[in-house]
Every structure is written in structure tokens, then in C-alpha cells.
């Protein structure tokens, strides 16, 4: 009975105290906020981190500081943390359970993006305001854009898939004192389409945590797949079609040396021009990209076809010289040989094309 009476008395006193709060208009609200602000900042040291220092002879395990980073559409949108020095009882301040203070007046957690090319913040300065709750939780909204440097494997270009990481850490705090918690908003198929561009399509995004040299390392892993349509249309298909026509051309005009030589040289020059474009635009790597191997294969097939058509007339003269009575039969055999070789070179050209496109299907199933 005494316990019930005590609880009732406490509730009555609290409600009565709140009822007597002088907040009746905007001015009184501002005055109460000023009282709360002065009470919070009076003995607050913004240069002292809200991180519990861990040492060897500690008898109690103190929880490490945690900062929550919310990422939406690959943009850092919200930073949340808890500072125990900013806790108050709302009943002491007419029920005020949160307040907005300048970011420069309180300590801000250190989050550093490493291995990046550039890090751009949209509207961030010391005069921005943060929301502080009575529980000590601080909320800060921000939009950022990060350009990171990623290793690229272009062996399967233009059907390649690249993985890239944005690495975040907190220096100089150790992993048992400071923890970065990455929260990714759920992605839908439309979100993935919106995050990509004309050349790259985002296929997967994940957040992982790792420990590197006693430092907490949080990473956003991004998988990207290149859109090969432009390269198939502009670089892969034209050499393939031109090779088909050129091979037929040199075998149809097998006795006209200058005509087939001019046709073959034109094709070779066009393939060399394509190789020059690839050498300029593609990164320099140890392994040749398969698209370069494809163009070199086209070049090799065309050169071998030209050499074959140049050698065949001499072989025909040698056979006809010793077989005067069988010229008609030899001529039929010779013409059949020409078409067989022409078909073989066309098959070699087709195989070279299929091998390159097979890379596309392998990357899809992988």
C-alpha cells in the first residue's frame, strides 16, 4: 500500500511540475531551450572525444563508442552517435526531449574515407545544426559524394564485372574503443537501375567490417557490370562483318593480285586503327583483354587468307605444268580447294567471334 501511494505521489508531483511549466508560447519555449542549452554546454568540452579509453588494468569492461552511418542510394545521409555528457531528464525542462545545437559546440565523431580520389560534402560546415535527444543520442544529416580508386581487371572487356570498395575508418582510435556501424537502406531493382549510368550497372551492394592493424575498417562493397552494347555495335561487329566480306573478296578475285591486295590492306588498316583506339582507351595491364585478342585474331585470319590466295596460283602452275592431259580435272580440283580454304577461313573468323561472345555468357552465369 505504501509503495502504491509513493508511486502515485511521484506521478502527481511530476504532472504538477509539468503543468506549472511556463511554456505557453514561442518565447517561453525559446527561454526553456536556452536554459537547457546552457546546462548542457556549461561544463562540456567539445575537444574531448566521447570515447572511453581502454587500458590494461581495467576491472570493468566499458562498451566501445559506436557511430551509425546510414547510406541511402550510395550517399551517406545520416550520422548517429551517443554522447553520455548530453543526457538530461525531460521532466526538469518542461518535457523538452530534444534540442538543436550547432555542430561546432559538441564533439563530432571522426570518420575518414581512405583510398579515395575525392570526398565531397554537400552543404557541411561548422554552423550546421544537429539534433540532440535527452538520451544523449545525436543525429546529423549530410549528403556526400565519394570518388574512390579501384583496381580494374579488363581481361573480359567489354563483358567485365568490377568490384569496388569505399573504406571508412576512425583514426587514431583502436577497435576496442571505437566502432563504425554501416547501415545500408534496402535496395530494390529500381534503386540499382537508378544508381548506375549509361556504361555501368550496379548489381550488388553490401557492407562489411574488418580489422586491419588494430583499426576498425568498415567497407561498402559495390559490384558493377559494364554495358557492352556500344562496344559490340562499334568495335566488335564491324571487324567481324568486314572480315567475312574481305575473305570472300580475296578468294573470288584470286587471279587479280593488285585488287585482292588492296582489299586486304584496307581491312588490315581498319583493324590496326581499331587496335590503336583500344590501346589509347584501355588501361595498361599485364594480360591482353579478350577484345584485343579478338581484333588480333581477325587480323591474323585476314593476313593468312591473303598469303594463301597469293600462294595458290603458283601451286596451280606447278601442277598444271606436269599434268597437261588432266587440266580440266585439275582445274575443278583447284577451284574446289579454293572454296574449301575460303570456308575454313570463314569458320576461323566465326570461331574467333563466338569465343569473344562466349565470355559474355560465362560472366552472366558466373
When pLDDT is cut at 50, 70 and 90, the band that residue 238 belongs to is confident
How many structural domains does the chain have?
2
Answer whether residue 136 is part of any domain. Answer: yes
Looking at residue 323, which CATH number applies to its domain?
Answer: 1.20.58
Domain end residue (candidates: 178, 211, 226): 226
Q: Check residue 14 and give its pLDDT.
A: 46
Answer whether residue 174 is part of any domain. Answer: yes
Are 312 and 202 in a shared domain?
A: no
Q: Check residue 70 and give its pLDDT.
A: 85
Looking at residue 181, which CATH number applies to its domain?
Answer: 2.70.170.10
Q: How far is CA 252 from CA 160, 212, 269, 328, 332, in A?
A: 39, 67, 21, 19, 15
Answer whether residue 247 is part of any domain. Answer: yes
Q: What is the pLDDT of residues 350-366, one digit of tens each?
A: 999 999 888 665 554 44
Are 265 and 130 in a shared domain?
A: no
Are 138 and 165 in a shared domain?
A: yes
Are 211 and 252 in a shared domain?
A: no
Q: What is the pLDDT of residues 49-72, one digit of tens each?
A: 988 887 777 777 788 899 998 887
Instruction: Give residue 265's domain range.
Output: 229-365
Average pLDDT for 314-323? 68
Tell me the pTM. Answer: 0.69
Answer whether residue 17 is part of any domain. Answer: no
Residues 126 and 46: their CA atoms lie apart, in Å, by: 13
Q: What is the pLDDT of residues 112-156, one digit of tens each?
A: 888 777 766 665 565 688 999 999 999 988 777 777 888 888 888
Domain end residue (candidates: 170, 198, 226): 226
When pLDDT is cut at 50, 70 and 90, the band that residue 343 belongs to is very high
Average pLDDT for 291-296? 89
DSSP lists the bridge partners of residue 161 as 225
Are 233 and 331 in a shared domain?
A: yes
Phi, psi of 283 (to 5 degrees): -65, 150
Domain end residue (candidates: 226, 254, 273): 226
Amino acid at each position: 500500500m505504501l509503495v502504491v501511494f509513493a508511486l502515485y505521489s511521484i506521478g502527481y508531483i511530476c504532472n504538477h511540475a509539468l503543468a506549472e511549466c511556463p511554456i505557453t508560447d514561442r518565447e517561453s519555449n525559446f527561454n526553456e531551450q536556452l536554459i537547457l542549452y546552457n546546462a548542457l554546454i556549461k561544463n562540456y568540452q567539445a575537444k574531448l572525444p566521447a570515447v572511453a579509453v581502454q587500458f590494461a588494468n581495467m576491472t570493468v569492461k566499458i562498451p566501445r563508442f559506436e557511430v551509425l552511418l546510414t547510406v541511402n542510394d550510395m550517399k551517406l545521409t545520416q550520422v548517429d552517435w551517443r554522447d553520455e555528457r548530453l543526457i538530461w531528464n525531460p521532466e526538469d525542462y518542461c518535457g523538452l526531449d530534444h534540442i538543436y545545437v550547432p555542430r561546432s559546440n559538441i564533439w563530432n565523431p571522426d570518420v575518414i574515407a581512405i583510398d579515395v580520389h575525392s570526398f565531397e560534402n554537400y552543404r557541411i560546415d561548422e554552423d550546421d545544426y544537429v539534433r540532440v535527444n535527452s538520451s544523449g543520442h545525436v543525429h546529423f544529416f549530410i549528403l556526400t559524394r565519394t570518388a574512390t580508386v579501384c583496381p580494374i581487371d579488363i581481361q573480359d572487356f567489354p563483358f567485365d564485372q568490377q568490384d569496388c570498395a569505399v573504406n571508412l575508418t576512425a583514426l587514431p582510435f583502436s577497435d576496442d574503443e571505437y566502432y563504425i556501424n554501416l547501415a545500408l537502406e534496402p535496395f530494390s531493382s529500381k534503386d540499382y537501375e537508378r544508381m548506375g549510368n549509361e556504361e555501368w550497372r550496379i548489381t550488388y551492394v553490401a557492407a562489411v567490417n574488418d580489422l586491419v592493424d588494430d583499426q576498425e575498417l568498415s567497407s561498402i562493397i559495390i559490384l558493377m557490370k559494364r554495358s557492352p552494347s556500344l562496344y559490340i555495335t562499334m568495335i566488335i561487329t564491324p571487324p567481324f562483318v568486314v572480315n567475312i566480306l574481305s575473305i570472300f573478296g580475296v578468294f573470288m578475285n584470286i587471279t587479280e593480285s593488285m585488287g585482292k591486295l588492296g582489299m586486304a590492306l584496307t581491312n588490315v588498316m581498319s583493324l590496326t586503327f581499331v587496335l590503336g583506339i583500344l590501346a589509347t582507351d584501355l588501361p595498361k595491364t599485364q594480360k591482353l583483354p579478350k577484345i584485343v585478342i579478338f581484333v588480333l585474331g581477325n587480323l591474323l585470319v585476314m593476313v593468312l587468307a591473303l598469303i594463301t590466295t597469293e600462294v595458290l596460283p603458283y601451286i596451280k602452275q606447278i601442277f598444271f605444268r606436269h599434268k597437261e592431259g588432266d587440266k580440266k580435272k585439275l582445274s575443278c580440283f583447284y577451284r574446289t580447294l579454293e572454296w574449301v580454304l575460303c570456308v575454313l577461313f570463314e569458320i576461323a573468323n566465326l570461331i574467333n567471334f563466338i569465343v569473344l561472345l562466349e565470355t559474355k555468357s560465362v560472366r552472366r552465369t558466373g
